[in-house]
Structure 1
Amino acid sequence: MVRADSCKNGDLLHLAARPNAAQMTALQAKILDMGHNATFSGDRNQGLQVGISSGTINNVFNIESATKITPNYQLGLRLSEAPQIDDDLFVGREPELEQLEEWLSPKTTKQNIVAVSGLGGMGKTQLSIHFAKHHHKSYSSVLWFNANNAATLTTGYVQLALWLIGQEERRSEENQPDEDQAVRYVRRWLSQPENDQWLVIYDNYDDPQMPGIKSSTGYDIRQFFPERTQGSVLITTRFSGLTFANRLPLLKFEDIDQSLTILANWSGRSTEEGARKLANRLAGLPLALTTAGSYLRKTTDSFSDYLQMYQESWDDLADNSNELLEYADRTLYSTWNMSLKQVQDQDPEAANLLRLMAYLSNQDLWYELFQEGAESGPAWLQDVVKSKPRFNRAITKLQEYSLVEVGAGTYSLHTCVHDWTLEYLNRGFDAEFCLLAIHCIAQNTKHHDNDADFWKLTRRLGQHVSRLEHGRLEGLIDWSGVDIADLYELGYLHLFNQQLVAAEKKLQLSLQGHEERLSSNDLKTYRLAGTLGMVYRRLNKLPEAVMMFERALKGCIMIVNSSHIGTLKLDIFNILVNVSPGQDKTTEVEMLYQHLLEGSQKTRDISFATEWILYVLCQLGPVYSAQGKINEAEIMLKGALQGYEKILGADDIWTLYAQLDLGLLYRAQRKLVDAEKMFMKVLKGNKRLLTAEHPNTFHLLYNLGLVYRDQGRLVKARTAFQQALKGYSKAFGPDHEDTMKAVTGLRLVNERRKRNGIRTARAGERGSEDEEETKGQEDSESGEESEDEGDCEDGEDGEDGEDGEEDGR
């Protein structure tokens, strides 16, 4: 045996023969007396190894050489290191608990591994502990370990190893067991053939490192699994990609009553309407609900007060919220920071994509939304959207850490995560990311406004624009600094979605920018003026509308005339606009459309200007009609329709729009037969050019219902309103303005049928309907009011007719 006092600093002393306990104690005491720093390692085959350095001695004792004791495989429920969670506060999760009970049954002969994954704060730890408390009698032992990193998990194994060999009292700062030996000991203990009924919970395994998953700080948890494939393993993790386990995603509470229960339990108050609004805003996230309830328990603030602070003073709440015992060292305002760091380390572009999402709606995110804005965007965005697989890789990384949720063809963020992306990731307001979000929305509008299903896209894009105009962003964005082309597209999008005040603001800024930075006499400026005229028309600002339309019309005429020489130049404005009632300009109009046709076949700008001349004529018609200039309006609309038919063809969508506008004018003139014929032509065209679910079809049905009602053909009117109502409800929802108009139209028709004594009993209904249809049609064609029409209450017809009129765009 080598003498200890012969060792120098840095030497390694090997004891070839295994010393007994008395020899080990004497040797360690001798080294301690010498003032050396030493480490003791080895195993039962190698004997004791002593590493000598300098300073205070660190004694690492050999677990595997400890006195053998009788194995104990019945440890019961061991949760002493787990968060102390009051089980009475646990709410819901019945389906998940049933699934865990099935997947973690100790009666199977194979090893059960389940990974409960979900967003931070979703209640994964609470679920695992609740399951353990209620099912521990089914297992020989239930063990909980903090798996946040390899060090914390190793510490848990060391504690269990010491307990198993009865050596807990030996541990101190100067007297540490060998950690590798402790891990091996526990793994072997879990692998004993007679010890296969245990359940081990690995909590907060959020930073995996394994093939296909890169992490500079993570580890592979499987190195801590028993050597024998037996027992049951329950892992909680934010990472959804643990393919070696049965994966159980934990999602937000969908039942509002469960959210209200959490608020009541943690606040100690009965819930009221303010609590319901708060619960809806926090969208079923347990940590958010618990944080709110805990805060309110300690203050006199109401649920409504907290909601207001959350929406307006997020930073203050973040800085002044205490940690919850049940959530260890995490708060609602910091819990996702670790996930972000892991994403940042593995895919920086994915982290930037998450930052960009802060300025968009948290619902309905898709590849093309980002792709359209990438062409002139930053290099990182161009890289992310250069292909669908690359984009999917970035999204998958966000989804793996539960920061993004995957739906049917779309992606979303939980409401609270979305709040965090803006309030934490963009705490100082990043104008670059904000302008990039605006550009993505604008480019999607620009590139798809002629698509048949553009109406669907406008609804999808509309919610993203709304994000920019509400909450903290509303007062931070300097719209005067937004690109004027993007402003136009956003204004057009607002117009399409009937957000007229917002459309007016964006288009005015864009027009002002064109006039200041570009030119007041270019095609884009005229297009802007025409679109702004449409907004004014719908806002019933008729003088402003006429001014904008005439400006656009004169400008486009100037562009078209520039392509002709000599006598071919025509005063289009005077031919079509300054027309006196009864004035016949048939020859001039024929020459005009030949002139426009020739122009449309030249340069792209000339073609575009020609189409805009016709478009503005269509818009001027309803404006003149609203001003009481019915004859002028009819000339405008007939001229525009004739031009569309000659230049674009009878089957073009813009030709159908012109027919619809003319039909609306006929109805306003009480030319009901002409209106019906025009509407039916448009309806047939819609079936050829548009999908059955396109809103234009429902607009037509609604307007046909008005015509039939005005004719006294109430059965047909009822059918048309019913079909319109069904279509509107499906396309827009029950509370949309168009849906409510259809509801009103149907109600008024039913009331009038009831007043006129029309029986609805099935036995005699057909005869009455036939009689009603015949009489109503005859009265309409003869220009007389039907008996039913005459019974209309004062003001009823005008109220529904004027307010209900639709132009279908």
Structure 2
Amino acid sequence: MSVPVPGESAGVNVSGDRPIGAESIQVALSGDHAQVTVLPEQAAHWARTVEVPTGAGFLPESASGVFVGREEELTSLRRMLTGEGAAAVVQPQRTSARAISGLGGVGKSALALHYAHRYRDSYTLVWWVSAESPETIVSGLGRITEQLCPQWARGCGPEERAAWAIAWLQAHPGWLLVFDNVEDPSHLRPYLGTLSGGHHLATSRRATGWHALAPVMPLGTLPPDEATGLLCSLAFPGQTATAEQRQAARQLAEDLGCLPLALEQAGAYAYRTGIDLDTYRRSLDLVLDDNRDAPSPERTIARIWDHTLTALTARDPLAVTLLHAMAWLAPDGIPRALLAPLAPHPLALANALGELHAYNMVAFTPDRQGVSVHRLVQTVLRNRAPQALGRTEAEQAVRRALPPDDSQPDDTFDWERLLPHVHALADTTPADATASAETADTYERAAQYLHRQGRDAHTINLREHTLAQRVEVLGDTHPDTLTSRNNLAGAYESAGHLGRAIPLYETTLAQRLEVLGDTHPHTLGSRNNLAYVYRAAGDLARALPLYETTLAQYVEVLGDTHPDTLNSRNNLAYAYRAAGDLEQAIPLYKTTLAQRLEVLGDVHPDTLNSRNNLAGAYRAAGDLEQAIALYETTLAQYLEVLGDTHPDTVSSRNNLAGAYQSAGDLRRAIPLFETTLAQRLEVLGDTHPDTLSSRNNLAGAYQSAGDLKRAIPLYETTLAQRLEVLGDTHPDTLNSRHSLAGAYRAAGDLKRAIPLYETTLAQHVEVLGETHPDTLNSRNNLAYAYQSAGDLKRAIPLYETTLAQHVEVLGETHPHTLTSRHNLAYTYRAAGDLKRAIPLYETTLAQYMEVLGETHPDTLNSRNNLAYAYQSAGDLERAIPLYETTLAQYVEVLGDTHPRTLISRKNLAYALESAKAVQQTDAATGALDSDSQSLFRTPE
């Protein structure tokens, strides 16, 4: 069930402390799934209606402008993408993805570029995206928006631009996206899964990691004849090479390993200087040619390097300076403005870049306002340059390109153009580099921009380098160092690396206690952050005391109604709820809501969030009457304040539907779930994580209604989409696999259910650990599947293990522990072991009454099952009164026609018949068993 986390906040700010404010009900998405970006209604309309203007599209310039051979590869690539002949056109709603893999400099990008040019007329739009990182992908997609919808793009951020582009691509089939130089194939998963109706073409030096994404075309070096032709076309443009020239070209091509990049640079050098190819070949650095049978691209380029650098130095020394600086930056889209401080005046910069272009060392962007350098060129320069030549110039150029101060609004500075180069500086830091406070500040400012954009998971590398440099320059406990350590922990936590986040938060808190004292605002922030990550890891035993201490200190230092105090109270309430302590959670939620009403007003987002959280706590406590009333009020207010399709409104509608479902009111729940799914499909698209959650929730409602024919296909679709979009072990994917297994079990298809449950449990153990609550949940449900299959020998030990782990991790009376104890009792009864079953049922019922109250649905279920155990033991004198009490309470709490009420009525009737010595029928046993098993299901 998609009930959002009620208000606990996690983040990083410029002071280094995680904000403690409440989350809105809407969770958000970016390229790494950390943040959802939802388009305004007008922008969504434009995404559906804007058509491609004449000449739209984006393809980079080829360094040499020459392409020779590769006809077989082009034909094969076309056939792979279309599944048909070379004349095929892209069919609407047909999606195909292919990857070209090969070593650096082999011509992957050139092949993709030539394919795009050759078949450009077959596509509605052809777009080139540099794909070294999630950020460059987001930025590249966002440029589609800048071209097709400039009036809206100017006023929004990179995530919004990328979201609009995705929406446009979903609505307009027949396009080609080229993802160039993919460093990690998994970075493409969200886009290959989300975007249908076109072709995806990727280039990558990596040959592995593509099996679940796209077939791979390995690309080797050029055949000797084609390599010779390429070299001649570059060295002797516009003329026919003589036989002697062709022979010299062939020998040089063989010496260069037929590597296209090396051929391009050698040909450009020969043309530029007029040297003949034999002379060029004889003067190569043969010391580096000791293994011609296995040439590496780095060695091949290095062999021609000294010639090019010598020629460039003679013609324009500034060109060599720029080239060495560019070796430390991102390879694509280096703005002229970034390089300008390294030149004495614009004309000198233009001349130097012109020389580099003439030698095929750089390519100009289409608008000629930027340049690109081949990655292999950069690698050779960085590895061969003494004392990191050009590194200082690159750092200075990036630093001078930053906004003058942090107060400048993000929308007035083009951070997205600069970010790849900041990341590149961090990625290429030499092992023996001297720490620099200025460079650390550069990384920190870029990371803070990403944080403000909700992209904390993208900041890890920047924050790691910031912390390392500040430790070396400022010391281990300097305030800026502590801020860096806190922020790196937040980045790890945002990326799901809790094992790395927790020690950093612990260290930061200990150091702030020592340096700043116990009640300094930064110390309180650190304590809150550590509590947050403990709770996220399922370690409530450590989270709760920290939250309690933090709240007490906020009250003392800032007062009872300060926003930070209210946020802290909200977080503590959520931790109590997660621990199953609703007696403490609900009053705290009530207090927080009352204070927010007083301080912020009735319709402030934090107030609405508090009302939603309190409703969720009532629902968890089984008080569906109050929960539904609050959910209905909250939804009405969201509709009034934010409109019908705002993400918070849609989430509120989803939560109300879930409460109706819990109350057994499927007639109201299912239409709401259907409406929510339809709205998310329209606004977010078919494979957006929130859309997938809605589809899963609707499937769950259908299953609750007994409509497995509609539930199972929805579950299967959702699982397939999550596998494609999120990957095999993402928590949402595990949830989908778990839900589908439950539906198969409900349908009696244990042959499909049990393997799914087994796979899910193994993955939960691997991803979350042996005793994480979701792992325990998974183990419980696998035990139930074994039990359903009659395999009690495997079911009982699993239940016993699960109960022991719940007691250890969550405590003796946590609701999940009670459910686990109840399930073990049920299994003992199913095995005929009433001596162990009945005491467990009695203990569980007493604990349910104490923890959840007399009429909570779980208490009623427990009472019903104890009655059945008594009946199984022939003790009808104790069974019948329990059945009568349970039925009366079901009627009072859930109504006369709720499914559980109907089952309770049947159970009483069977017991009364048994008391009259009427033999219990098989149907009666089925009716009793149908309600007697408690399952956990991980809420979405």
- TM norm. shorter chain > 0.5: no
TM range (shorter): 0.3 to 0.5
Q: Could you say which structure has the larger radius of gyration?
A: 1
Name the TM-score, length of structure 1 as normaliser. Answer: 0.41
Name the TM-score, length of structure 2 as normaliser. Answer: 0.36
Higher share in helix: 2
Greater RCO (Cα-Cα under 8 Å, separation 6 or more): 2
